[in-house]
């Protein structure tokens, strides 16, 4: 075999070895090396697109759960009334006593506060219920002094019990429109007994 023949044979051998060499595979199939970057980009693109959206959805779910939990905690539980007319209010999960009622004929959720002097509502509720006029006053709160007013002769009901001529304080901040404090201007009409997780209101 001449020199040229040997060179030709070596070139052919190298080409054959290159053709027989195993190509990189993916899941048992041959993959074109030039297509790997494009394939990788196609595989990552949906994840990159869904990443921020998934975070937003996650926080929306968390916020909905927190809001639902707060509403559940503050939801007024059923008042029970005995044959003698005694009203029993169960303690809520947050330790307070909530009960449904009305002020000026408008439905409201009361937070029973035996330390408050008056039934207290926000200005928004007073506007909605048509509670106008009254005597100007100042409320001393933890956040400072707040200008408000005291309106007399407002009908207030708690469960089946109604009291006319109740003094209502208007203008306190931090109270939702559909909520109110049930203070002594109403509670003083009842004898109050705390027994475990129950508050009992009884007509004297």
Per residue in 52-92, pLDDT tens? 777 776 677 777 665 555 554 455 557 888 888 899 999 99
**If you average pLDDT over residues 38-47, what whole number do you get?**
50
Question: What per-residue confidence (pLDDT) applies to 143?
Answer: 78
Three-state DSSP state, 114: coil
CATH of domain 80-202: 2.40.70.10
- Assigned token pair, 53: 């959206």
**Cα(82)–Cα(89) distance, integer angstroms:** 12
Q: What integer best gives the mean pLDDT of the chain?
A: 79
Domain boundaries along the sequence of the chain: 3-70, 80-202
d(CA 106, CA 33): 74
| pTM of model > 0.75 | no
pLDDT digits (tens, 9 = 90+) for 152-186: 999 999 988 999 999 999 998 888 889 999 999 99
Sheet holding 87-90, edge to edge: 80-81, 87-90, 198-202, 191-195
In the chain, what percentage of residues exceed pLDDT 70?
A: 66
Residue 65: what pLDDT? 62
pLDDT of residue 80: 86
């Amino acid at each position: 075999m001449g020199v040229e023949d040997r060179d030709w044979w070596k070139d052919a051998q190298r080409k054959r070895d290159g053709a027989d060499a195993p190509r990189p595979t993916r899941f048992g199939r041959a993959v074109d090396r030039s297509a790997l970057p494009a394939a990788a980009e196609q595989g990552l693109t949906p994840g990159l697109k869904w990443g921020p959206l998934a975070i937003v959805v996650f926080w929306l779910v968390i916020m909905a759960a927190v809001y639902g939990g707060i509403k559940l905690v503050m939801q007024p539980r059923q008042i029970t009334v005995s044959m003698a007319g005694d009203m029993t209010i169960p303690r809520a999960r947050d330790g307070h006593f909530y009960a449904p009622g009305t002020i000026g004929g408008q439905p409201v959720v009361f937070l029973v506060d035996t330390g408050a002097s008056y039934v207290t509502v926000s200005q928004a509720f007073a506007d909605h219920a048509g509670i106008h006029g009254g005597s100007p006053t100042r409320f001393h709160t933890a956040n400072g002094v707040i200008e408000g007013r005291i309106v007399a002769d407002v009908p207030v009901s708690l469960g089946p019990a109604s009291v006319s001529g109740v003094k209502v304080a208007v203008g306190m901040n931090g109270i939702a429109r559909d909520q109110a404090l049930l203070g002594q201007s109403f509670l003083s009409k009842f004898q109050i007994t705390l027994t475990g997780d129950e508050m009992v209101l009884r007509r004297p």
